[in-house]
Chain A
Amino acid sequence: MSAPRASRARWLPLAAFGVILALLATGVWLSRDPDRDALPSPLIGKPAPAFRLPVLGAPDRLVTQDDLRGAPYLLNVWGSWCPGCREEHAVVDAFAKTGRVRVIGFNWKDEPEDATRWLAQFGNPYDLVLADYDGKAAIDWGIYGAPETFLVDGDGTILWKHVGPMTDATIREQLMPHVERLEVK
C-alpha cells in the first residue's frame, strides 16, 4: 500500500464517526416538533364517517352526519375528565365567538351530568354538543385522545385535523388558512 493511501485510510474511522454523528443530529432535529407523536389522520380529504349520536342534554334528539351538511363545522372532541380540554377551552371559546365557522362539541365517553356541569362552569362555546357515551362513534373518526379537532366542510369532507390542545397559534397558522379558503368558495 502506498503512503498517501495509508494516511487516507487512517482518517476513515473519524469520517465514519462524523457521518454517524450527523445522522444522530438529524434525528434530534427532526424530533423538534412538540406534536411529533400526533398521528396523521387517513380521513383527511375523505367524507366524515357516518354516525348517529344523541345531543347532550336532549338524549331523544339524534343527529347524523347528514344533519350537519350545508355549512362547514369545527368538531371539537372533549370530555370533562380531560385536563387538556380545559387548557384549550379559552381558545375554542374565542374562535367560536368570531362566528366564522360553527363549533360542534363531541363529548367523548363522559357522564352527561359531569359534561353539563363542566359547560356551566367554564362556558359553552358549542352550537351543539354530541354525546358519544360508549366511544363507538369515536373509533370511526379515528379519535384516540381528547382534545382533538376536525374541520369539516359543507359537503361533509374532512379538511383538517389537530391532535392535542389547540393554541392561538394553531388557530392562526393552521386552521385559519382552511377557513379562509372555505369563505372564498
Chain B
Amino acid sequence: MIRVALLALLLCLAWPQATRAQVAVDASPLRFETESEERRFHRLVAELRCVMCQNQSLADSNAQIAHDLRREVLTLMRQGLDDAAIKAHLVARYGEFVLYRPQVGPATWLLWFGPLLLLGAGGLVIWRVVASRRQAAPLPPDDTETW
C-alpha cells in the first residue's frame, strides 16, 4: 500500500508540468460514519478522474486537489446528493473529463460506438473475402497425392 502511494507520488512529481505545483496542507484522512457510506464513496471516487494527475482516478491520486475533491465528494454525499448529481456537480466545474465513463452524446458517439463500427467493418471484409472464394472454382482433385 505504501509502495503504491510512493509510486503515485513519484508519478505526480515526474509529471511534465512540474512548474504547476500544489500545496501540501491538511492531509488528514477522511472519516466515514458507516460502512455503506465508505463503500459508496470508494466506488464513486474510482469512477472520477483526478484533474491534476490525469492518468489516475480520484481514489488513487495523491495530488492535493484530489484530496480536496475527495472531501468535496464526501460532503456532497452527506448533503444527500445521489451519484448522478455528484458527478454532474463536478462536471459543471471541471468538465466531462472528470468522468472515466463519459456520457453518451453526439461528442462521444464515436468513442462509444467506434469499436462496434470497426467490428462491423471487419465482419464486412471477411464476408466479402469468403463470398469471393466461394465463387472461385473449386480446386481440381489432385490424383498425385499419396498419403
Contacts and interface: CB of A to CB of B under 8 A. Distances in A.
Contacts of B20: 82, 84, 145-147, 163-165
> Taking each of A37, A40, A138, A140, which has the highest tally of chain B beta carbons within 10 Å of its own beta carbon?
A37
Interface in A77-111: 79, 81-84, 87, 108-110
A142 B69 CA distance: 11
A43 B93 CA distance: 7
A178 B125 CA distance: 51
B22 A145 contact: yes
Given A1-B136, A84-B19, A145-B22, A109 B95 contact: no
A46 B96 CA distance: 16
Contact of B52 (A1, A81, A134, A145): A145
A117 to B, nearest CB: 15
A56 B38 CA distance: 37
Interface residues of B, number: 27
B72 interface: yes
Contact of B93 (A1, A84, A139, A164): A139
Contacts of B92: 42
A79 B19 CA distance: 12
A41 B92 CA distance: 9
B100 interface: no
Chain A interface category by residue count: 20 to 34
Contact of A141 (B22, B93, B136): B93
Interface in B1-45: 16-26
A42 B91 contact: yes
A42 B23 contact: no
B23 A144 contact: no
B95 A144 contact: no
A45 interface: no
A18 interface: no
Contacts of B94: 39, 42, 142, 144
Nearest to B19: A84
A154 interface: no
15 contacts: A39-B97, A42-B91, A42-B94, A43-B93, A81-B24, A82-B23, A108-B23, A140-B93, A142-B93, A144-B51, A144-B52, A144-B94, A146-B21, A147-B20, A165-B20
Given A40-B95, A79-B23, 9 more contacts: A42-B95, A83-B18, A134-B26, A141-B93, A142-B94, A144-B51, A145-B17, A145-B20, A165-B20
